[in-house]
Chains A and B, each alone.
Chain A
Amino acid sequence: MTEALQPAEVAQVAETVTWAVGEEIPLEIVGAATKRGLGRPLLGAHGGAQGTGGNRIIGHTLDLSRLSGISLYEPEELVLTAGAGTPLAEIEAAVAAEGQQLAFEPMHMARLYGNDGGTLGGAVACNLAGPRRIKAGAARDHVLGIKGVSGRGEAFKSGGRVVKNVTGYDLSKLMTGSYGTLAALTEITIKVLPAPEKTRTILVLGLDDEAAQRAMTTALNSSHEVSGAAHLPAAVAAQSAVGYVSGAGGAVTALRVEGFGPSVAARTEALRELLGSLGALEELHSANSAVFWQEVRDVAPFQAGDLPLWRISATPNNGAAVVRDVADAQSGTAFYDWGGGLIWYRLDGPVDDRLADDCGATVVRQALERHGGGHATLVRAADEVRARVEVFQPQADGLAALTARVKDSFDPRRILNPGRMYRGV
């Protein structure tokens, strides 16, 4: 029988893992359990594919949601510490009240799986980021320290509460994006930053993907500190809740400028000049900008439904070329963030018979390979599909072997989320 254990303190997490190691019973690690649909499926009891695809059936769920609460927040020191199970929304509200923000703008990914919410631990375990990734980095760039329990049942820490720190290996980064396969995180310290005084978004209307790609690259190569660069083809733009976007009657390329008032005004002006010859321009002010970039961040256009969804991290200036190649072989709808470096590609309609086996994985990954490399993740698909298809980008042999050894060094008995990322890891 599967049970969900809810430790309220670190010692209990350690006790649980130690017990699981002794019994060789794998554990599913969750915060708010909003992203079970991400990664290779683990759990029989929650509708996952029982033991298919080489994953061991998970014995129990280790639910960290009770390790919750902000234990330290010093706005002038730009630092915050919270339990790994603290709702992300609680942290966002706390920092907003001080005029600050999580600069990595974590996407609320749960919304892709029909859920809402999510925890700080989940955001870190998935290395979430949003449109500001291009300027401010991802979760990895803002985690200063972690505490966690390894798959050996040992409570350990890494990093600290200061930004400048090279004392020992940066295990905090290693935890970030490890999807709970190395440790059950219990406490996380992150860097927070001042929220911008003002935001403007310049919209260039009616560009095709190639022209939009050039526009985004031009803007990002300027000194105007663009903090968001997205392109929504016509069908995607039409779904926006922002009238200027949905009413544009075509594709919308968006460039965000943030900061102090006089600076935003000067940079907006400069960007208008730079991009004016490419197409008609429109401008969003702070409130509309917030709505628009949240839609981009959370992939709002593709939230509804359960069509398979790929998240493709590409060489930025090759974004449009990758999409062109994928679309040639597999019909779908795409939109771009990160100046072309992040592509969301939804497979539309019935998956072509030839491709049904791998849900487009070969097509997507070959296109990426032809255009400078990167990685593609099948972020949404039925459990049965994710058990079969490599959800995460397959690794070269040497790297795969190293990855397995790193897993060994934390979790030799494969107790923590085994197989969530790669078979056997």
Chain B
Amino acid sequence: MKMPDPDQAVLARRAEIIVAMRTIVPDQSVISEERELAVYESDGLTAYHQLPMIVVLPETTAQVSQVLAYCQRNNVKIVPRGAGTSLSGGALPLADGITLGLGKFNRVLEIDYDNRCARVQTGVTNLAISQAVEGDGFYYAPDPSSQIACTIGGNVAENSGGVHCLKYGLTTNNILGLEMVLPDGEIIRLGGKHMDSEGYDLLGLMTGSEGLLGIITEVTVRILPKPTSARALMIGFETSEAGGQCVANIIGAGIIPGGMEMMDGPAVEAAEAFVQVGYPLDVGSLLLVELDGPPAEVDYLIERVRSIADELGAVSIRVSQSEEEREQFWAGRKAAFPAIGRLTPDYYCMDGTIPRHRLPEVLSRVAEMSKKYDLDVANVFHAGDGNLHPLIMYDSNNPGELERAEDFGSDILRLCVEVGGVLTGEHGVGVEKRDLMGVMFSEIDLNQQQRVKCAFDPQQLLNPGKVFPTLHRCAELGRVHIHRGKTRFPDLPRF
């Protein structure tokens, strides 16, 4: 993966930049020793690493603003970083860039139950938000598996999802407002506690912008009253086709479960070996379906789902009888990544989304690719919304295996696009899928996206080298070609 060439002029001024940063934030909040910088060299995509030039850890919005303004004046690149759990290399440092760590923004600023929202700083972890309000019967709905560690700012930057997103939406559907700092240091507030900020939906644009448009310093999230009860079904099928059909029939019956996840045989085996929660081992696919709401609703829907599964010839059906059992059902799914991690020195997690009904075809073609590349794969699947996570197992100590795993992964993503899906459902493009963007978008599409980038960051100093395969200068992108008098008046029906 080629990153932009480091700017030698900036590297030469490293000492001077460190001094300047120490006039903005306390000395100990500027990290410059190689040993300490190493902590930041990767994010969750550990195949890539790069020491940052320096790390700066601001703790106020004013400091962020000053750092950014300095960087813009001095042409220094910035890589924003929350908890560094990105799986697409979004927080991968740049050799000539400042990694701006936002972990010190860790306060819950306000909880406003009457308006069902909470205002938190960007570095607050996803789980901490739910924990802050759970005593009063509320929670924050999006729940990525990394929720203990990942920050709300990182969630916004990646538009993260979780198992509850099928019914309750992604990050973008669950935030009301933001405070952010533009590359020139300007502090902007979007939205608030009301719904639908007027003007262009910049809140929607910022969500999923992967740290390329501005530094998020504060987020106002929607919190929801907790459902009164929840139960889960664990359903085994002989094949993944039958599992996929069950998902389609559940949704076809008008049921949108709180969560609906699928694992294939290898993923089930790995999870069961790791956490021993009683998953059936003789199945081709295992479906977890959670229903939540008042007990009357949950009981009713459990029966409906059970009969849908029965009709399709499910080989095993278990319904959770207690909270512990429900959590047990999920424990295996939640531990699927580390469970695979035990079986293989390295694994590579893909994140394409497909139209659900193409699942059988996609799985069988992934199995063929697995033979071709001679690498094992296990599949976990956010079944309700078509988001597929094939986990490719490899050993980076074997020469060439990482490259083979990456090629395998690229083939899977191309396949996702070919069947009408997309490159990434929730992990982001980052550096990982940057060079595949052309599979999904035309040059015009990508140029239009980059023009939006230019509206925020004309010098392209925020997280360059991510998302876009080719960087164009903003001046070049902004040119309009005028053909006055040369284009004929369109020959169209008119009234």
What is A's interface to B at a CB cutoff of 8 Å? 3-8, 12, 15-16, 18-19, 21-24, 63, 74-79, 99, 127, 129, 133-134, 137-138, 140-141, 150, 152, 154-158, 160-171, 173-174, 176-178, 182, 193-195, 197, 217, 220-225, 259-263, 265-267, 270, 313-317, 338, 341-342, 372-375, 377, 392-393, 395-396, 398-399, 402-403, 405-406, 408-410, 412-413, 421-422
Complex-state Cα separation, A423 to B223, whole angstroms = 36
Our pick among B200, B255, B354, B420 for the contact of A403 (Cβ within 8 Å) is B200
Our pick among A167, A170, A265, A399 for the contact of B437 (Cβ within 8 Å) is A167
Instruction: Give A378 Cβ to nearest chain B Cβ, in Å.
Output: 12
Our pick among A99, A171, A341 for the contact of B195 (Cβ within 8 Å) is A341
Our pick among B199, B429, B452 for the contact of A395 (Cβ within 8 Å) is B199
The B interface is mostly helix, strand or loop, or mixed, namely: loop
In the complex the two chains form, is B200's CB within 8 Å of A406's CB?
A: yes
Complex-state Cα separation, A260 to B296, whole angstroms = 10
Instruction: Give B237 Cβ to nearest chain A Cβ, in Å.
Output: 18
Residues of B within 8 A of A270 (CB): 294
Instruction: Give A343 Cβ to nearest chain B Cβ, in Å.
Output: 11
1/0 per residue, CB under 8 A from A, across B60-73: the answer is 00000000000000
Instruction: Give A417 Cβ to nearest chain B Cβ, in Å.
Output: 13
Complex-state Cα separation, A161 to B425, whole angstroms = 12
Count CB-based A-B contacts (< 8 Å): 309
User: Is the C-beta of B282 less than 8 angstroms from some C-beta in chain A?
Assistant: no
In the complex the two chains form, is B353's CB within 8 Å of A392's CB?
A: no
Contact A316:B193 (CB < 8 A) given known A77-B356, A377-B198: yes
In the complex the two chains form, is B451's CB within 8 Å of A402's CB?
A: no
Residues of B within 8 A of A22 (CB): 482-487
Residues of B within 8 A of A157 (CB): 441-442, 445
User: Is the C-beta of B204 less than 8 angstroms from some C-beta in chain A?
Assistant: yes
B253-299 interface with A by 8 A CB criterion: 254-256, 293-297, 299
Contact A164:B353 (CB < 8 A) given known A5-B492, A315-B192, A374-B192: yes
In the complex the two chains form, is A167's CB within 8 Å of B422's CB?
A: yes
Residues of A within 8 A of B187 (CB): 398
User: Is the C-beta of B209 less than 8 angstroms from some C-beta in chain A?
Assistant: yes
Our pick among A74, A164, A217, A224 for the contact of B425 (Cβ within 8 Å) is A164
Instruction: Give A268 Cβ to nearest chain B Cβ, in Å.
Output: 10
B202-234 interface with A by 8 A CB criterion: 202, 204-205, 207-209, 225-228
User: Is the C-beta of B128 less than 8 angstroms from some C-beta in chain A?
Assistant: no
User: Is the C-beta of B400 less than 8 angstroms from some C-beta in chain A?
Assistant: no
Our pick among B205, B227, B294 for the contact of A170 (Cβ within 8 Å) is B205
Instruction: Give B441 Cβ to nearest chain A Cβ, in Å.
Output: 6
Our pick among B195, B385, B453 for the contact of A163 (Cβ within 8 Å) is B385
Our pick among B193, B297, B387, B425 for the contact of A373 (Cβ within 8 Å) is B193
Top 3 A-B residue pairs of the complex, sorted by shortest distance between their CB atoms: A173-B204, A263-B297, A194-B254
Residues of A within 8 A of B437 (CB): 167-168
Complex-state Cα separation, A161 to B385, whole angstroms = 11
In the complex the two chains form, is A174's CB within 8 Å of B196's CB?
A: no
Our pick among A141, A171, A422 for the contact of B448 (Cβ within 8 Å) is A171
Instruction: Give B326 Cβ to nearest chain A Cβ, in Å.
Output: 17
Our pick among A129, A137, A162 for the contact of B386 (Cβ within 8 Å) is A162
Residues of B within 8 A of A164 (CB): 161, 165, 170, 353, 382, 385-387, 422, 425-426
Give the residue among A74, A165, A170, A317 with the most B Cβ atoms within 10 A. Answer: A165
Complex-state Cα separation, A313 to B115, whole angstroms = 13
Q: Closest residue to B208 on the A side, CB-wise?
A: A166
In the complex the two chains form, is B197's CB within 8 Å of A375's CB?
A: yes
Contact A173:B172 (CB < 8 A) given known A7-B492, A167-B440, A377-B198: yes
Instruction: Give A197 Cβ to nearest chain B Cβ, in Å.
Output: 7
16 A-B pairs whose Cβ atoms sit less than 8 Å apart in the complex: A3-B495, A5-B494, A6-B494, A23-B487, A77-B356, A140-B201, A162-B355, A182-B200, A223-B228, A223-B294, A225-B293, A316-B116, A396-B189, A402-B455, A409-B455, A422-B199
In the complex the two chains form, is A7's CB within 8 Å of B490's CB?
A: yes
Our pick among A18, A262, A374 for the contact of B483 (Cβ within 8 Å) is A18
In which size bucket is the chain B interface? Answer: 35 or more
In the complex the two chains form, is B495's CB within 8 Å of A6's CB?
A: yes
In the complex the two chains form, is A166's CB within 8 Å of B495's CB?
A: no
Residues of B within 8 A of A178 (CB): 200-201
In the complex the two chains form, is B252's CB within 8 Å of A75's CB?
A: yes
Instruction: Give A363 Cβ to nearest chain B Cβ, in Å.
Output: 18
Complex-state Cα separation, A195 to B429, whole angstroms = 34
Contact A372:B173 (CB < 8 A) given known A16-B490, A166-B426, A174-B204: no
1/0 per residue, CB under 8 A from A, across B421-459: the answer is 111111111000100010011101110110111111000
In the complex the two chains form, is A398's CB within 8 Å of B188's CB?
A: yes
Our pick among B198, B492, B493 for the contact of A375 (Cβ within 8 Å) is B198
Our pick among A141, A260, A262, A392 for the contact of B199 (Cβ within 8 Å) is A392
In the complex the two chains form, is A313's CB within 8 Å of B196's CB?
A: yes
Residues of A within 8 A of B209 (CB): 169-170
In the complex the two chains form, is A168's CB within 8 Å of B204's CB?
A: no
Our pick among B198, B200, B252 for the contact of A174 (Cβ within 8 Å) is B200
User: Is the C-beta of B169 less than 8 angstroms from some C-beta in chain A?
Assistant: yes
Complex-state Cα separation, A177 to B252, whole angstroms = 31
Our pick among B158, B194, B426, B445 for the contact of A315 (Cβ within 8 Å) is B194
Residues of B within 8 A of A3 (CB): 494-495
Complex-state Cα separation, A306 to B387, whole angstroms = 49
Q: Closest residue to A138 on the B side, CB-wise?
A: B196
User: Is the C-beta of B186 less than 8 angstroms from some C-beta in chain A?
Assistant: yes
Instruction: Give A12 Cβ to nearest chain B Cβ, in Å.
Output: 6
